[in-house]
Amino acid sequence: MNAALANLPDILLVDDDPGMIQLLSRALAGLGRLRFATNGADALRLARSETPDLLLLDAEMPDMSGFELWELLRADVRFSDLPMIFVTSHAGESMEERGLAVGAADFIVKPVRPGIVAARVRTQLRLKAAVDGLRRLAATDALTGLANRRVLVERLANEWARARRMRRPMAVLLIDVDHFKRFNDVYGHLRGDEALVAVTHALGEAACRPADLVARYGGEEFAVLLPDTNRHGAEAVAQDILERMPELAIEHSGSDIGQLSVSIGGACWDVDSGGWSRAFEPRKIEPGDATPGETPFERLLAIADEALYRAKSEGRARACFSRVDLDAP
């Protein structure tokens, strides 16, 4: 896919009539990247392969109706915010009410008028872009552009559940910029912000897999979530981060080493962790698996924080790691 098409909204057209697909395609030319399906099974496959920005859906199709397809899509969290326009030959109020009741954003009656279809699609795409923009703002740290702490906790909970379900390891790194208050005192907050952005880029280069998540944890602290990563892999990422700091060449007279550095604490949950085998048993996690009021994935953060404290106590500019023991008091 070329860059121009990649930046266009994705519109999925679903209708069992190829003639209607052609008519809609002409009406929507230039408004987005158009994909189409002539049955529910193909539409489901296309949607799951790449989530569309807007769905135009024939309400009445053989084998699987538009209503049945929509019910399947709505059951998948990936499509919870997908706007859908029903297209149908039935103009009765009961059909329109039924469509709106199941969450349709709009309702178009056949025979369609191309100008009306284009106008309504533009409206839905503008609304989708506005909502997506607000969602990005709510999930993003303003200075660094990284995911914020709320997103980190949500992803951590999901990855923890997936790790247990799939019997896969996972790791978390907490990164603290060493003596950052001194840096701000000496060089000013503007230089401090620039330094944090530089650290952000280094973290993103070290944790570069699609599944990795780099987040701003707060102040001068960052977090890196590493799914499918055991201690060996997490230590390699941490070492990569440490080696990238001198390459930034950011002077820090308030530091013993004379340049900006970071300390890293890691928590790893893998085959060497306490409770690893028992965690896969089909049972509910018991209160004794974590401290009161603390979920197991929060335990992961707490252990990473303890390891970070050790790294700072031992001289900073280094990484310390701990295994996760779910049975610890």
Catalytic residues: 220
Least confident of 32-46, 159-173, 176-190, 256-270: 159-173
Tens digits of residue pLDDT in 124-147 = 999 999 988 888 778 899 999 999
269 or 7, higher pLDDT: 269
Pure H helices in 36-113: 40-49, 66-74, 93-101
CATH 3.40.50.2300 location in the chain: 3-137
pLDDT at 37: 95
Closest to 114 in 3D by CA, of 25, 34, 30: 25
Closest to 93 in 3D by CA, of 76, 107, 78: 107
**Pairing mode of beta strands 213-218, 221-227:** antiparallel
Does residue 284 register a pLDDT over 60?
no
CATH 3.30.70.270 location in the chain: 149-323
| Domain 149-323 CATH (choose: 3.30.70.270, 3.40.640.10, 3.40.50.2000, 3.60.40.10) | 3.30.70.270
pLDDT at 92: 72
Please list, in sequence order, all residues whose beta carbon lies within 8 angstroms of the beta carbon of residue 245, skipping any fewer than 6 positions away.
Answer: 199, 202, 259, 260, 261, 262, 317
pTM: 0.66
Q: How far apart are CA 41 and CA 49, in angstroms?
A: 12
Amino acid symbol at 323: R
| CA-based max dimension of the chain | 77
Tens digits of residue pLDDT in 52-75 = 999 999 998 988 999 999 999 988
Question: Residue 226: beta bridge partners?
Answer: 171
Please list, in sequence order, all residues whose beta carbon lies within 8 angstroms of the beta carbon of residue 234, skipping any fewer than 6 positions away.
Answer: 171, 173, 226, 266, 268, 321
Q: How far apart are CA 132 and CA 134, in angstroms?
A: 5
pLDDT at 290: 47
Residue 328's pLDDT band, with cuts at 50, 70 and 90, is very low
| Domain 3-137 CATH (choose: 3.20.20.410, 3.50.50.60, 3.40.50.2300, 3.30.360.10) | 3.40.50.2300
